Amino acid sequence: MDRQKYLEAVKSSLEQNIYYHSLALEACMGGIYDYLKNNNLLKPNELTKEDWQLAGLIHDIDYVGEFKEFHPNKTKEALAKFNLEVDNQLIDLIKSHSPKSTGVNPQSQAQWSIFCTDSLTGLIVAVALVYPSKKLADVKVSSVLKRFLKEPKFAAGTRREEVKMCEKPEGLNIPLEKFIEICLTSMQSIASEIGL
């Protein structure tokens, strides 16, 4: 797998904010994988870390042009334009981030990760933009948690009910505060790449 080729495909296909969101989700998927692995919580038969990250990177690649209304059911077709492909497990992983459009409900830990994280990245970005510095480095877990729980109108597009499913015992079983911490830290590690 050559990340650079997928990265260039995503970058050249998507508007900058969705491209940055894709990089953020790639980082979060890697961070969640590491957390599960390091705490011996990763289930057998999960895909590799590279697959988790790649799914995050390319999950919105068909959110453009003639594919947009079918998103995310046209990943294969969107990748084919760049002579790229992924296997069906990865396609299912990508589909699980939007069960309403695909009918694929999250089951594996990777699927719950992409489902729960997709709309959290936007809230974290919005919290950073409130700071005078507009830097992710200044964002605290407690600030994100407060905006998430106490200010439903803040970053109103955040699907809070979906993010909260990170706590589901049969899914990730990660407390919300810890989940936010993992995603925030992951995004901070690539802040300069996403303009924050």
Chain residues binding Fe ion by CB under 5 A are: 60, 118
Comparing CB distances to Fe ion, the nearer of 60 and 181 is 60
8 A C-beta contact, residue 93 and residue 102: no
Shorter beta-carbon distance to Fe ion: residue 26 or 118? 118
42 vs 102, which CB is nearer to Fe ion?
A: 102
Query: Smallest gap, in angstroms, from Cβ of residue 133 to Fe ion?
Result: 26
Choose between 96 and 109: whose C-beta lies nearer to Fe ion.
96
Residue 30 CB, shortest distance to Fe ion, in Å, is 16
Nearest CA-CA partner of 51 in 116, 8, 110: 110
- Residue whose CB is less far from Fe ion, 65 or 175: 65
Nearest distance, CB of residue 81 and Fe ion, angstroms: 19
Distance CA 18, CA 84 (A): 20
> Closest approach of Cβ 34 to Fe ion, in Å?
21
Least distance in angstroms from the C-beta of 59 to Fe ion: 5
Indicate the SS3 state at residue 39.
Answer: coil
| DSSP code for 48 | P
Query: The tokens of 22 are what?
Result: 């894709």
Interior CA angle at 63 toward 119 and 127, to 5°? 25
Report the 10 Å Cβ neighbour count for 82.
15
The CB-nearest residue to Fe ion is 118
Measured CA to CA, the distance from residue 137 to residue 168 in angstroms comes to 29
